[in-house]
Structure 1
Amino acid sequence: MRQPQSFGETVPPLVVVDTSVVINLNATGRANDIVRAFGVTLCASGVVRDELFLDRLNGRDDAGLAQLLVKDGLLEFLPFDVESESLFESLVAGPAEKTLDDGEAATLALAAAWSGVAIIDERKAIKIAGDRFPDLQLRTTADILRSDRVFAALGRAEVAEAVFNGLKEARMAVPAFHHDWLVGLLGERIVECRSLPAALRQIFE
């Protein structure tokens, strides 16, 4: 599986986020500050907007929180064009092992059609993206949170609190290659993050 690469000081101009990324950022309690520090208006498909409206199980109203980001110019929902709609349809039709849910498919379709960077956390989506779009740049929510710009603006302690909240409240997925960073950032608090692999949490148990 191709591993997403971390952000450095430079952030690409077109960053397309999946539904889970918006949910993770909302769960940090600092979404506005994080995206503002990141320095780029995030983009998402209208499909992602619809998924956020349908998700009422977490008690946070992610659709409403996303609209606050839109109001502040930090998130923009975009429609498909002809190319991205065709790519979307190709990613949702076919055998289950080769297709994605609508939000993931829409994210990859927009990013691939418009030469953007896709922010996506699910392992299956990352694998399919690597197979279908080998030139597409991939990142994860964790890459936003550990970016130089966010650390400079919020400071280590506030980033640690945001990451902890994302793990606890949204069960944020974090790729294995970021686990050492998580351990260094959170220390013993990692034990409370039940969405992380047991082997990782057992370091402090």
Structure 2
Amino acid sequence: MTAFEPRALVLDTSVWINLLATGHASAIVKGLACPIAVPEQVLGELKLDPVTRRPFVGDIHPALQIPMVELVSLGGDELDIFVELVSADAPDRLGDGEAASIAIAWKRQLQLGIDEKKANRLLRERFSSIPAFRSTELLAHPSIALELGHATASDCYERAVRYGRMHIVRSPAD
């Protein structure tokens, strides 16, 4: 298992949904203490508030209102990897957000937050040098409890399970 380091991190859609579901996304990002990249494709998939299930309102997306979060675009070789991943045959085909997150993490040597089983399988098979973390690992990181306090950190974890897409992983092979 890879240890999380306070260095740049790109987050996939499912991880963002879980962070936003906690109601404390800004404090969690602060606790992770690293720059966070959000690919344009991921932001395009983040249309609904995970708690209310209503569209986000306002000119600036809530994820982009968080200090240390930056919107990033695919470029150069990242586009090639993205196209390869979204146009693969069915067992290996990824959605836009997953593919963009992996391409950016791979080419820019960033850590990656991603939850989907298929994407994690492809990471193990093809992109094993990318340090990857699930929402459960990020939300359970000791720095989050230090930033929020244990009770609030525990509540955030429960809200991610309840309102987000966070599932408790039974084995690392999932």
Question: Which TM-score bucket, shorter chain as reference?
Answer: 0.7 to 0.9
Give the structure with higher Rg (CA): 1
Q: Paired residue for 1:48?
A: 42
Q: Runs of 5+ in structure 2 lacking a partner? A: none
Helix, strand or coil at the partner of 1:176: coil
Q: Paired residue for 1:117?
A: 111
What is the aligned counterpart of 1:136 among 130, 136, 143? Answer: 130
Aligned residue pairs, count: 171
Structure with bigger helix share is 1
Task: Please identify runs of 4+ aligned residues in structure 1 that moved more than 6 A.
Answer: none
Helix, strand or coil at the partner of 1:111: helix
The alpha-carbon deviation at position 98 of structure 1 amounts to 1.3
Cα separation, 1, equivalents of 2:40 and 2:139? 24
Helix, strand or coil at the partner of 2:46: helix
1:1-205 equivalences under 5 Å are 5-7=2-4, 10-11=5-6, 13-53=7-47, 55=48, 59-61=53-55, 67-177=61-171
Quick check: 1:6–1:147 contact (8 Å CA) kept in 2? no
The alpha-carbon deviation at position 166 of structure 1 amounts to 0.7
The alpha-carbon deviation at position 62 of structure 1 amounts to 5.4
Quick check: 1:49–1:63 contact (8 Å CA) kept in 2? no
TM-score (norm 2): 0.88
Percent sequence identity over aligned pairs: 27
Higher relative contact order (CA 8 A, sep 6+): 2
Q: Runs of 5+ in structure 1 lacking a partner? A: 179-205
